[in-house]
Amino acid sequence: MAHKLFLSRRNLLTLLSKLDRAKEGEPTQCTIVKNDSSNPKFPQTMTQVYVIAVEDDAYYTDRDAGDVLPADDPSLKVT
């Protein structure tokens, strides 16, 4: 069975904020801990999991990033 982890918009924005704070030199572990296996609608399938945000250039050191749908590709978003 594949495990399921649900991240809310709030979770995702928190992780992005942590990356931005780390980039500015603020102390952060860039981590959120999810313990929500009792959520009635979106229960994660593991008791606890650490979700750690890492910058792309740190993560993709030995391979290119995988493909995503063009509508979801951050490099194609117009700001």
Yes or no: say if 53 and 14 are a contact pair by the CB < 8 Å rule. no
pLDDT of residue 1: 78
Long-range contacts for 45-51 (Cβ within 8 Å, ≥24 apart)? Answer: 45/1, 45/3, 45/4, 45/5, 46/3, 46/5, 49/3, 49/5, 51/5, 51/7, 51/11, 51/15
Q: How confident is the model at residue 37 (pLDDT cuts 50, 70, 90)?
A: confident
Would you state the pLDDT for residue 65? 87
Average pLDDT over residues 65-78: 85
7 pLDDT band, cuts 50/70/90, is very high
